[in-house]
């Protein structure tokens, strides 16, 4: 499958992202560590709801090699219930302010789909916005992101978190996700958002087969010229296929992370930073060996 379009300007040049006060080079694969402040996330919900817990986990992920920490204060797992904007902010902002002050050289991404949360997150030191909704849930979101000047993670999702896993259907998932990206990239560029990262949205409105089709054809999205993020850590595409639990799925997740890097992923969004960093080192070594 090949892709060509005159509708977008490919991401090129020095392959770096300006993330507030930090510059993030994307010439080599990066690891984004997940920090869920929620009580109900699918794998680690409730583990990091106290200050001591989220500081300790952030310490650990940074020491293990994370370049980005993605903070989420609202669960987006399948069937997740929505919480109020005020509750999201009350969970998020104290942690974000503390962590950005404690680790000024680390990029902190905020996982949100609300324009007001984007605004307050940027003021609290966020360096990136990670939006599962692609702007569908808040008409002011793109304007809010543009005002911050921060990189924006554009994710594909069919449906909403409460409905997305109810019989997801596509004629050709890779072509449809690619078409979605092309259209949204044009909209984002028009809005003034030029630093874009693409996330195919593994597990967000996809069957197990859909997820593996996207993984196998991941390089198609690289043809847009924008960095590609893969977020499949401990998801059901791993553990349900193998008949195990999310807690048992680290080895299998690591296997898919290796394939993701070999297929061109620029960023791995993970629960387990150390193993992901090791995987990238192995993949880079493998890819640089001459035959």
Report the catalytic residues.
235, 269
Report the b/e string of 241-263 with b at 16+ CB within 10 A: eeeeebeebbebbbebbbbbbeb
Helix-, strand-, coil-residue percentages of the chain, each rounded to 5: 40, 15, 45
Sign of the CA dihedral with 85 first, then 86, 91, and 96 last: positive
Do 154 and 185 touch, CB atoms closer than 8 A? yes
Element (H, E) at 284: helix 273-288
Question: Across the chain, where does the E strand assignment appear?
Answer: 16-19, 22-25, 30-36, 68-72, 107-111, 128-131, 152-155, 196-199, 229-230, 267-270
Rounded CA separation 108/122 (Å): 10
Rounded CA separation 146/4 (Å): 26
Structure tokens at 285: 């070594």
Sign of the CA dihedral with 185 first, then 155, 141, and 110 last: negative
Cβ count near 28 (within 10 Å): 10
Report the b/e string of 97-129 with b at 16+ CB within 10 A: ebbbeebeebbbbbbbbbbbbbebbbebbbbbb
């Amino acid at each position: 499958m090949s892709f060509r379009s005159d509708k977008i300007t490919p991401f090129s040049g020095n392959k770096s992202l300006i993330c507030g006060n930090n510059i993030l080079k994307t010439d080599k694969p990066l690891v984004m560590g997940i920090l869920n402040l929620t009580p109900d996330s699918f794998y680690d919900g409730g583990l990091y709801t106290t200050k001591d817990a989220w500081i300790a986990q952030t310490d650990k992920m940074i020491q293990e090699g994370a370049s980005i920490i993605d903070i989420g204060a609202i669960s987006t797992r399948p069937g997740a219930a929505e919480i109020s904007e005020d509750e999201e902010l009350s969970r998020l902002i104290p942690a974000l302010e503390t962590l950005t002050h404690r680790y000024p050289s680390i990029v902190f991404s905020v996982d949100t789909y609300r324009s007001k949360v984007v605004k307050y997150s940027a003021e609290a030191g966020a360096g990136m916005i990670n939006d599962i909704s692609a702007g569908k849930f808040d008409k002011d979101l793109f304007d809010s992101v543009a005002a911050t000047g921060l990189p924006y993670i554009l994710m594909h999702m069919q449906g909403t978190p409460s409905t997305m896993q109810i019989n997801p259907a596509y004629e050709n998932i890779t072509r449809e996700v690619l078409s979605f990206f092309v259209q949204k990239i044009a909209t984002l560029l028009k809005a003034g958002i030029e630093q874009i990262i693409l996330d195919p949205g593994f597990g967000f409105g996809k069957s197990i087969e859909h997820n593996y089709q996207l993984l196998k054809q991941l390089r198609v999205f690289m043809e847009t010229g924008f960095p590609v993020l893969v977020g499949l850590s401990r998801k059901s595409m791993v553990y349900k296929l193998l008949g195990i639990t999310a807690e048992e799925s680290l080895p299998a997740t690591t296997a898919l992370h290796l394939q993701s890097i070999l297929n061109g992923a620029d960023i791995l969004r993970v629960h387990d930073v150390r193993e992901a960093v090791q995987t990238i080192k192995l993949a880079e070594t493998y890819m640089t060996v001459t035959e």
